[in-house]
Structure 1
Amino acid sequence: MSNTKLSLTFRFLRAIGLNYPEEEYGQVGLLTVIGKFFSNPYHMLLLSMMNWVIFEPIAPRMLRPFLLRRMGAKVGKNVYIGDHVNFDQNRSHLISIGDHVHIDSGCRILCHKRDLSNYHINDDYARLPYKEQPVVIGKGTSIGMESFLMPGVTIGEGVVIGAGSLVTKDIPSWCIAIGRPAKPIKRFIPREPQA
């Protein structure tokens, strides 16, 4: 891409009030930016439909998982998604949710954050590139109300995340994890065979 096209793209972005870092959008043309601009309202419509009261009887187990799939996420069978769960709408293709997962109301699932690995005194935070990382939620997991899942975490199978937790690191299978940051506090054991 020529410097002329790059400068036109960046001038256009800055003219409409967007301060995107050149490192992140150096290979992006103006048409790509315009395409993103028009895909955002579609994703916003899908997100808003998740909380329309008229759909409430079917929303948690049918509508919300369906709409999240339409946004590009991998969503298993019999998934429950509570109201006002927020997903990283432009990076929802990085979200993977196993079968029988239960995500309570008010949770947030994020798939991007600023890359602070080369951040120093007097640097402009707004010009840092984003680091995109997947979020994986294992089969049969329950995420408590108002919890945050940060980019790059994998939550194992059968995990119970306590309400209000901040998951910043991987959580192993079959445990209860709570806190900010979330840490395993109890491991589940196999059921004793009945005599």
Structure 2
Amino acid sequence: MAGPPDPRPRPRRRRPLDAEETALWEHVTRSIRPIRPKRLVAKMEPAPEPTPEPAIETPARAKRAVPLPVVAAPKPPPGPPPLAPLEPKLRRRLSRGAEVDARLDLHGMTQAAAHGRLIAFLRGAQGSGHGLVLVITGKGEAMSVLAGEGGRGVLRRLVPQWLGAPELRTVVLGFETAGRGHGGEGALYVRVRRLRGGRS
């Protein structure tokens, strides 16, 4: 017993192309160019400019280094004025017999007594306005140096040291060995510094 007929239409069979249809189809397909799909050109938006990073200020850029003022080293206090020798003109006058303003003889004194007497004499000479004085120490002898006290040899060696000491540099302008007429090597010419307002 046969079933119900199939309602679906049967596909038609394609008949083969004859030679003329085949040639025509090839001719048509040769002139056909495939349609290319349109390329979507993406609209290039300008890249955002990079945000500049905040510059790290170095101490040199942030604030220019201000050079520190050069502080000059404090000047040392002025030392005592240098001793000055006798002027040639004065030396010639003395060699011809010119006299000194005052003289001090330290013969027979101890070191302590001679030292104190010398300072007092020179300060007094300065106060009196004397410019040149004579200090007699004695020539001394090699064997006459006594230990600690007196002795002409000791005074001859020590008096020049006392005259050059700081305590007398404001009084003594200079000194040197006296000429023969005033004792030679046993005496000293001492130039006394004038007080302010006077002449040296």
Tell me the TM-score range normalised by the shorter chain.
under 0.3
Identify, as 1 or 2, the structure richer in strand. 1
TM-score calculated relative to the size of structure 1 = 0.19
